[in-house]
A = this chain, B = another copy of it.
Amino acid sequence: MLQLFTRADVAALVGELYGCAPWLAERAWQALPLSSPAACKLRLAQIVREATHEQQVSLLLAHGDFSASDSGTDEAGPGGAWRMQASEGELRRMRELAAEYARQFGWPFVPDLAGPLARGLGAAQILGALQRRLENPPEMELAESLRQLHRIAELRLNGKLGLRPLLGEQVLDWCERLARHSEPPWREQGRLTVTYLSEAHRACAGQLREWMNECGFDEVHVDAVGNVVGLYHADRRDAPRLLTGSHYDTVRDAGRLDGRVGIFVPMACVRELAREGRRLPFGIEVVGFAEEEGQRFAAAFLGSSALIGAFDPAWLDLRDAQGMRMREAMLEAGLPADMQAIHALRRDPARYLGFVEVHIEQGPVLEALDLPLGVVHSINASWRALGEVVGVASHAGTTPMQARRDAACAVAEVMLLAERSAAAEPGAVATVGQLEVPGGSVNVVPGRCRFSLDVRAPADALRDRVRAVVEKGLHEVCRRRGLRAQLRETLREPAAPSDAGLQERWERAVAGLGVEAHGMSSGAGHDSMKMHRLLPQAMLFVRGSLGGISHNALESSTADDLQLACLAFQRMIEDFCVSC
């Protein structure tokens, strides 16, 4: 552990991590004692977040130009790797853009030179980030730059303490290696798509099975719907089991962590147990769910539906875009395609302690708070609809404002109403993601406007309140403007609140790492949402980089954050050992 006794110790450490910043050193000193390296990193980031704009910018100015500095790692090490590979053209372009960046923002470009695994990024990746970040609004880019400083400080602190996030690195390594299995043409482009029962999907199942065996699971098999199930036995027969896992299928052109970290984090923990030869008073059952994303067939959550006995027999007759039935795809993959076998997958709740799932956040909340982990209180209730407002198309020049029946202005009112209504309810979100005046012309008042509506909230009643306000508003606006509106519901899912006991176990585990156990709701759906119908459940979120970008090749997290997720999982297991 880090021993800090005097103001001078702290000033020296802060100087090594961030460069000379007496105000930061002073506030860090006031924040002592700090219980762990994670707590130290978090507190420093919080101090910077609460500092003035000038202080924040001064840190970036003190850090200086990336091409001149080693950015937190040895010049010969990963932080300098890009320089050795970069072409002359890349270097020139980088200098030009960095100069443009400094002019635009008033501080130097601070890139991520190390990457999630601290193994160094290439020139092309750094150039890509530079181009992307030139597009950021100043406030957003300042926040992103400061996060890079924190990441550099984190790597420097690791180096200083001789820490290495080995479990997190293992998880990221598995993510990278599993991502080699992808469907063409994504595979050829180095990108990732794995849909249900495709060749890549079956290769993933085989790979997971192999790795689970290597980790020391006692029983590993692929079940009747393609789930990969690994069981690590308890220290006694008939002991209960802790069920955990997440999905290994992906959306098209996906990130590499979505779903998969929820399989790998428990795998890494079981591997540690097996290495120690340690048995717990409960078994650990890790499921790689075969399907969650609903990409190939018009049905989602196939894997978890099977485990809760809710696999709809009609799904077997669904056809993919090529016309192949799910039943045929199953038979081709060597699965029985037999409802009796699928029904047999239903778990007996009496035999389980509950279901826990680790997942990347896929959102910006944790990153904005500089927190590596979050504890999910509820998976949001959701509702979707497609809407259309019909007015009267007319000449934009000759139709007086009071004689218009402008369909798009009505939708504009509804959009802002939806935004206000959701903002007024804690945890609720409302989105108009699709918006179009079909065949619109610059000089024609819109006679028609189409839009989508997506409303989510931590509780059904809350979601329904927002939905009702928006629906009522739509009809009021249209009545007032003399328009017709229709709204067609396309999805309605209830909320899945976390089990209080499981949630508290996650909270204790996270707090034990010296990190604030931030409670949050999940805006996206997860396997836990289905498992909720059968078992108590609670999820742990891991911070995603770049605003939590997801369903995108840029999706990422760091080995350090994933290390904390593994440590939290281990602590949760210990917590169960004490009290289950």
Q: Is A452 an interface residue (CB 8 A)?
A: yes
Least CB distance from A325 to B in Å reads 27
Least CB distance from A574 to B in Å reads 30
Question: Is B523 touching A395 in the complex (CB atoms < 8 A)?
Answer: yes
Q: In the complex, A550→B490 CA distance in Å?
A: 38
Q: Number of residues in A with C-beta < 8 Å to the partner?
A: 74
Q: Is A400 an interface residue (CB 8 A)?
A: yes
Question: Is B396 touching A429 in the complex (CB atoms < 8 A)?
Answer: yes
Q: Which residues of B contact A548 (CB under 8 A)?
A: 394-395, 398-399
CB nearest neighbor in B for A452: B442
Interface residues of A in 385-442 (CB under 8 A from B): 386, 390, 392, 394-403, 405-406, 408-409, 411-413, 415-416, 419, 422-423, 427-437, 440-442
Least CB distance from A498 to B in Å reads 16
Known A397-B456, A398-B362, A403-B365; judge A435-B434 contact (CB<8 A). no
Q: In the complex, A394→B549 CA distance in Å?
A: 7
Least CB distance from A580 to B in Å reads 32
Question: Is B423 touching A401 in the complex (CB atoms < 8 A)?
Answer: yes
* A45-53, A133-141, A175-183, A198-206 - interface stretch: A133-141
Q: What is the copy number of this chain in the assembly?
A: 2
Question: Is B423 touching A392 in the complex (CB atoms < 8 A)?
Answer: no
Question: Is A437 touching B434 in the complex (CB atoms < 8 A)?
Answer: yes
A140 interface neighbour in B392, B400, B433, B490, Cβ under 8 Å:
B392
Least CB distance from A451 to B in Å reads 9
Interface residues of A in 56-115 (CB under 8 A from B): none
Q: In the complex, A549→B177 CA distance in Å?
A: 63
Q: Is A484 an interface residue (CB 8 A)?
A: yes
Question: Is B423 touching A445 in the complex (CB atoms < 8 A)?
Answer: no
Question: Is A429 touching B401 in the complex (CB atoms < 8 A)?
Answer: yes
Question: Is B449 touching A440 in the complex (CB atoms < 8 A)?
Answer: no
Q: Which residues of B contact A441 (CB under 8 A)?
A: 433-434, 452
Q: Is A296 an interface residue (CB 8 A)?
A: no
A135 interface neighbour in B390, B446, B523, Cβ under 8 Å:
B390
Question: Is B432 touching A435 in the complex (CB atoms < 8 A)?
Answer: no
Q: Which residues of B contact A249 (CB under 8 A)?
A: none
Q: Which residues of B contact A386 (CB under 8 A)?
A: 442
Contact with B along A514-556 (1 / 0, CB 8 A): 0000000011110000000000000000000001111100000
Q: Is A382 an interface residue (CB 8 A)?
A: yes
Q: Which residues of B contact A432 (CB under 8 A)?
A: 408-409, 446
Least CB distance from A294 to B in Å reads 12
Q: In the complex, A398→B523 CA distance in Å?
A: 4
Q: In the complex, A380→B440 CA distance in Å?
A: 22
Question: Is B363 touching A405 in the complex (CB atoms < 8 A)?
Answer: no
Q: Is A482 an interface residue (CB 8 A)?
A: yes
Q: In the complex, A264→B144 CA distance in Å?
A: 68
Q: Is A21 an interface residue (CB 8 A)?
A: no
Q: Which residues of B contact A431 (CB under 8 A)?
A: 396, 406, 442-445
Question: Is B449 touching A442 in the complex (CB atoms < 8 A)?
Answer: no
Question: Is B413 touching A433 in the complex (CB atoms < 8 A)?
Answer: no
Question: Is B413 touching A416 in the complex (CB atoms < 8 A)?
Answer: yes
A to B CB contacts below 8 Å, 11 in the list: A137-B483, A386-B442, A395-B551, A396-B433, A401-B423, A401-B429, A409-B419, A433-B440, A433-B442, A435-B446, A436-B437
**Beyond known contacts A135-B484, A433-B440: 4 more, CB 8 A cutoff:** A396-B433, A397-B525, A401-B423, A408-B432
